Amino acid sequence: MNLSLENKHFVVMGVANKRSIAWGIAEALHSAGARIIFTYGKERSKKNIDKLLEGLDDASRHLVLQCDVTDDAAIDETFATIKEKLGVLHGVAHSVAFANKEELEGEFVNTSREGFLLAQNISSYSLTAIARAARPLMTEGGSIITISYLGGERVVKNYNVMGVAKASLEASVMYLANDLGQDGIRVNAISAGPIRTLSAKGVSDFNTVAKVIEERAPLRRSITKEDVAGSALFLFSDLSTAVTGEVLHVDSGYHTIG
């Protein structure tokens, strides 16, 4: 049993900038010796990833590929490239979500059909599409993780359409874990507490929710991307070989209180 991920290959999806949860996970994977395939949606993210990689020693072992998770052809192409360049894949960090800003405030009942489906497509269905594409490359077993939020389990003001997407994401984790378990592939979610990232910036009430964690969560402290990255490393490593279909709360214990 060990935490070294040397000679192991991991896809990290969802680095937009240095604050991204996915970047925290990438730094942890890099330190553990893994080889990383970064995927991004927007060109601006690629620029940021390239710049961030300049700050790492031996970053030339990593790859950066575009992959819009709503595009099946792009997903196929991404995993075909990974197969060609690396052969085997050991893990995937899916850290991607999107909803229209207008639908992250006010009443959930006003969610449009289009907005609902957009949030589900990017934030939930993409995990299933990615798991299907990754499966044939995980010939030595594997570990897939995604990032969820408490608003998928209970009503959190303003989370609205994204709460329903996270509920569907967490249910997908169970069904995917059941399908892929026979291939030695584990599928888990980390339910993270509030972290100030680009996505979180500008959404209504982020500051209020974050302050409540500091005041009332059992640990009475905020959550960092490094906290999430530590748990991600555990889920990627041999320390968690019998953990699958799980939602691990990395939230200073907030989900346990009223």
Catalytic residues, which ones?
149, 159
205 contact, one of ligand NDP, ligand N5H, none, CB 5-8 Å limit per kind: ligand N5H
Residue with tokens 């100030």: 196
Instruction: Report the 10 Å Cβ neighbour count for 92.
Output: 29
Give the E-state strand segments of 45-183 in sequence order.
63-66, 91-94, 142-148
Q: What is the closest distance, in whole angstroms, from the C-beta atom of residue 172 to ligand NDP in the complex?
A: 13
State how far the Cα of 142 lies from the Cα of 164, in Å rounded to an integer.
27
Of 96 and 247, nearer to ligand NDP (C-beta) is 96
Binder of residue 69, out of ligand NDP, ligand N5H, none (CB less than 5 to 8 A by kind)? ligand NDP
Strand partners, 91: 10, 143
Q: Which of 74, 86, 167, 200 binds ligand N5H (CB under 6 A)?
A: 200
Burial of 89 (0-12, 13-18, 19+ CB in 10 A): buried
> How far is it, in rounded angstroms, from Cα 11 to Cα 35?
9
Residue 217, contacted partner among ligand NDP, ligand N5H, none, CB below 5-8 A by kind: none
Q: Is 198 left (phi over 0), alpha (psi -120 to 50) or beta?
A: alpha
Q: Which is nearer to ligand N5H, 34 or 232 (CB)?
A: 232
Question: In whole angstroms, how close is the CB of 244 to ligand NDP at the nearest point?
Answer: 20
Q: Considering only CA atoms, which of 8, 179, 198 is closest in space to residue 96?
A: 198
Could you give the CA distance from residue 15 to residue 245 in angstroms, rounded to a whole number?
24
Cβ proximity to ligand N5H, 209 vs 233, nearer residue: 209
Taking the complex as a whole, the smallest distance from the CB of residue 188 to ligand N5H amounts, in Å, to 17
Per CB under 6 A, the segment of 2-10, 52-60, 194-202, 233-241 that binds ligand NDP is: 194-202
Residues contributing to the site for ligand N5H (CB under 6 A): 16, 97-101, 104, 149, 151, 156, 158-159, 162, 194, 198-200, 203-206, 209
Contacting positions for ligand NDP (CB under 6 A) = 14-16, 20-22, 40-42, 45, 68-70, 95-98, 122, 147, 149, 192, 194-195, 197-200
